[in-house]
Amino acid sequence: MAIHPAVLEVARGDTVIWVNQDIVPHTATAKSEWDTGVLAQGARGIIISRRRGEFRYACTLHPTMKGTLVTR
């Protein structure tokens, strides 16, 4: 029930893959930027980091689960 790593730094154009290793579904959602949709156990959500900046995101099903994607 946590996002690891809590802060991830990538280069613009990198592919970021979230893998749900928990027993309950989750999302990785940054408002107005991306939403992986609901990821069941073992499912993957993929985005390409196209814009530089710091993007805070959370699981819409469990809002206390938060992370930050930093794109350089």
Query: pLDDT by residue for the chain (72 residues), tens digit each?
Result: 889 999 999 999 999 999 999 999 999 999 989 999 999 999 999 999 999 999 999 999 999 999 999 999
Question: Between β-strands 7-10 and 66-71, what pairing exists: parallel, antiparallel or unpaired?
Answer: parallel
Q: Is 40 inside any structural domain?
A: yes
Count of the separate structural domains present in the chain: 1
Per-residue confidence (pLDDT) for residue 40, from 0 to 100: 97
Q: Is 1 inside any structural domain?
A: no
Per-residue confidence (pLDDT) for residue 1, from 0 to 100: 85
Q: Is 46 inside any structural domain?
A: yes
Q: Is 35 inside any structural domain?
A: yes
Per-residue confidence (pLDDT) for residue 72, from 0 to 100: 96
